[in-house]
């Protein structure tokens, strides 16, 4: 009996609203372009001209406001230079020839910095995506509201900008989860939840040595070590570039263990240096001394969830003396035919 992961069904596209000539009769070649979906602080994104075949003042769309009103327009640029504009209050701006005399020749070179939503907390973005594109209101029928509220208090702020109508909902959710070090999944009771990685999380239970019905399968992940990490943040949308922060605080300490240097770059939509620094610490806490993944099976179908912390000795054979420590549950696979549960642990 195979249990389907409901996240795999979140394949509906996010940005589905298109610019049409009925609403915008002077839209010209911009007809059919996607109305971008945006959350949080967006830098230097394309402003799409809505009347290029019309006359001054020219109007430009920044993002789709079907579900959320734009919070603020922070700056507008013509070919990189600051421009004078009018905020129309509906996700669009206008620029007239009286404001910028050469605007008619620059209609495809307009970009803007704007705050797309009144919230930028990563978990709040996840909740809003699920409400708007999967019909999951934030109520106790669909969510573990208590656990998600905790995740909100722990989450970083981030952003999201989607201008491609092939981007699926699960991909948008993955992007946010990566930025906030979160796991978005359904609990055993069918409710959605979000958990933020927290190495100080309280333990959820204990597994005794006589519960094992298999020997440990130990997967050495030493090759996944990092001596440093680069976090890309504060994304420039049109240029597709970002600022970079490199955490080298653990470089020599890790080199002493693995005898070589290794770095990796992580692209994010995080808005600030502080966010990038915080994420780099999470990555290096795991990557400076990589722990084995230990898989082992127990009898029964206990209420154990991914990201739970359990006191156990999964690497000890049944005949050996236990060495109990706190492990994070990385994966849970239940076999309802045999009434067994295969668990993956990380110390």
Polymer length of the chain: 347
pLDDT of residue 317: 86
Each residue's pLDDT, cut to its tens digit, for the chain (347 residues) gives 444 567 668 999 999 999 999 999 999 999 999 999 999 999 999 999 999 999 999 999 999 999 999 999 999 999 999 999 999 999 999 999 999 999 999 999 999 999 999 999 999 999 999 999 999 999 999 999 999 999 999 999 999 999 999 999 999 999 999 999 999 999 999 999 999 988 888 999 999 989 999 999 999 999 999 999 999 999 999 999 999 999 999 999 999 999 999 999 999 999 999 999 999 999 999 999 999 999 999 999 999 999 999 999 999 987 888 999 999 999 999 999 999 999 999 99
pLDDT of residue 2: 41
pLDDT of residue 200: 87
Write out the two tokens for 51.
Answer: 């009347």
pLDDT of residue 199: 84
């Amino acid at each position: 009996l195979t249990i389907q992961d409901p996240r795999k069904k979140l394949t509906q596209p996010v940005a589905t609203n298109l610019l049409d000539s009925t609403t915008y009769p002077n839209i010209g070649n911009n007809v059919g372009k996607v109305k971008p979906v945006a959350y949080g602080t967006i830098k230097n994104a394309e402003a799409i001209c809505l009347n290029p075949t019309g006359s001054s003042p020219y109007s430009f769309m920044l993002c789709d406001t079907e579900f959320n009103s734009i919070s603020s327009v922070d700056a507008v640029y013509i070919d990189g230079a600051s421009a004078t504009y009018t905020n129309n209050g509906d996700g669009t701006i206008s620029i007239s020839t009286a404001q910028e005399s050469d605007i008619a020749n620059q209609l495809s070179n307009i970009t803007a910095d704007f705050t797309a939503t009144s919230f930028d907390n990563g978990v709040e973005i996840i909740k809003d995506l699920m409400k708007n594109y999967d019909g999951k209101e934030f109520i106790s029928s669909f969510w573990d509201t208590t656990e998600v509220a905790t995740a909100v208090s722990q989450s970083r702020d981030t952003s999201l900008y989607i201008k491609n109508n092939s981007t699926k909902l699960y991909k948008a959710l993955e992007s946010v989860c990566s930025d906030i070090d979160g796991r978005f999944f359904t609990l055993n009771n069918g409710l959605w939840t979000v958990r933020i990685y927290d190495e100080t999380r309280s333990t959820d239970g204990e597994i005794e040595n006589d519960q094992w019905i298999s020997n440990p399968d130990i997967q050495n992940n030493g090759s996944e070590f990092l001596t440093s990490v680069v976090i890309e943040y504060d994304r420039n949308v049109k240029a597709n570039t970002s600022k970079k922060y490199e955490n080298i605080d653990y470089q020599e300490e890790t080199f002493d263990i693995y005898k070589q240097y290794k770095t990796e770059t992580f692209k994010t939509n995080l808005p600030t240096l502080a966010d990038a620094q915080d994420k780099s610490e999470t990555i290096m806490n795991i990557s400076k001394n990589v722990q084995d993944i230990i898989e082992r099976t127990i009898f029964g179908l206990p209420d154990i969830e991914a990201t739970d912390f359990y006191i156990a000795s999964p690497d000890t054979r049944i005949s050996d003396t236990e060495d109990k420590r706190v492990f994070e549950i990385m994966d849970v696979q239940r076999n309802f035919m045999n009434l067994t549960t295969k668990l993956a642990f990380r110390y």
